[in-house]
Amino acid sequence: MHKTDDVVLSIKDLSKQFGNGCDYCKDDSAELQKNMCPHCNTVHAVKNVSFDLYEGEILGVVGESGSGKSTLMKMLYFDQEASTGTYVLPEDPNAEDNVFLVSSQRKRQIRNEQLGMVYQNPMLGLKMDFSSVTNIAEKLIASGNRNVGQMTDRADHFLNKVNIPLRRKYEAPKNFSGGMQQRVQIAKALSNYPPILLLDEVTTGLDLSVQADVLELIKEIQRDMGVSMIVVSHDLAIIRMLCDRTMVMLDGQVIEHGITDQILEDPQHEYTQQLVYSIL
């Protein structure tokens, strides 16, 4: 896939706080205990994060547990409301100034047409009691599809792509292994050809060989379909394998960003150095 310099997703000064905040922590230079205000106990889960995602690239987000990675992803997928910030999808035909501010109906439309999300926990992305085909059809119906034959074909195509045997397509994911569930989730997220895919710790907890399958699949999707992706992981080996560029988060803020080999081989920030020295 030829890479162009088109921004497909742009985030500016995105913040998420849990709590009302006080005069002390409203000041950007205020010193917090990790990400919590010592006066009002407000948690600043994500603080002033800005970045662009370009067409066809994979952007990595690394950081320890509690650094705000998942909160960031949830806001991008409208699972969680942002406190402040702007979110622009320039390639969308409507391209509003800030999609955080649009109606919930419009947000649903963006979710169904522009974005795909794969959660660490397949329970969040799949209806475990419904068949794999139904799960995929649900996403397709949400994005306006009504033709049953077409939807079944699409489901077959993507289940095939993620190596789920088609004879098991009418089985519910609750019968599947963790790795298979994850692959059904990826098939579902891809089924309406979203230009942007959000992947939150998708290989965590999978055994090495299944992990390799999933990584291979992600690379293939990037190459063959030109999908742009944001990959959240605490595993630097995975980041190295997949990502063109990487951001490092700590206590809700982006402390360092750059081309992935720059981050891994010449880390500048103390925390990034610690992280890199911890690679097995």
Q: Which is nearer to another protein, 175 or 274 (CB)?
A: 274
Give the one residue of 20, 166, 266, 279 binding another protein; rule: CB under 8 A.
266
CB atoms within 10 A of CB 123: 13
Footprint of another protein on 195-234 (CB under 8 A) = 211-213, 215-216, 219, 223
In terms of CB distance, is 172 or 210 closer to another protein?
210
* Helical ranges in the chain per DSSP H: 23-26, 69-76, 104-113, 122-125, 132-142, 148-161, 178-190, 208-225, 236-242, 260-265, 270-277
Token pair 């662009």 in the structure block, residue: 52
For residue 258, state whether it binds another protein (rule: CB under 8 A): yes
Using CA atoms, how far residue 29 sits from 24, 47, 203, in Å, is 9, 12, 36
Tokens of 1: 């896939």
Rule CB under 8 A: say whether 50 interacts with another protein.
no
> Please, what is the minimum distance in Å from the beta carbon of residue 259 to another protein?
5
3-class secondary structure, 272: helix
The reply to whether 158 sits near another protein by the rule CB under 8 A is no
Specify the residue, 36 or 210, whose C-beta has the smaller distance to another protein. Answer: 210
In 19-90, DSSP assigns E strands to 43-54, 58-62, 84-88
Q: Does position 119 bind another protein by CB under 8 A?
A: no
The candidate with the shortest Cα–Cα distance to 99, out of 10, 17, 13, is: 10
Q: Which of residues 22, 259, 275, 279 is near another protein by CB under 8 A?
A: 259
Q: How many of the chain's residues bind another protein (CB under 8 A)?
A: 29
Burial class (CB in 10 A: 0-12, 13-18, 19+), 152: middle
Q: Enumerate residues 6+ apart whose C-beta is below 8 A from 184.
A: 122, 126, 132, 135, 159, 162, 164, 173, 176
Counting contacts by CB under 8 A, is residue 13 touching another protein?
no
- Residue range at the interface with another protein (CB under 8 A); choices 27-35, 66-74, 145-153, 260-268: 260-268
Closer Cβ to another protein, 55 or 201, answer by number = 55
Q: Which of 84, 148, 270, 279 binds another protein (CB under 8 A)?
A: 270
Residues within the interface to another protein (CB under 8 A): 1-3, 5, 54, 57, 211-213, 215-216, 219, 223, 240-241, 244-245, 257-259, 261-262, 265-266, 268-270, 273-274
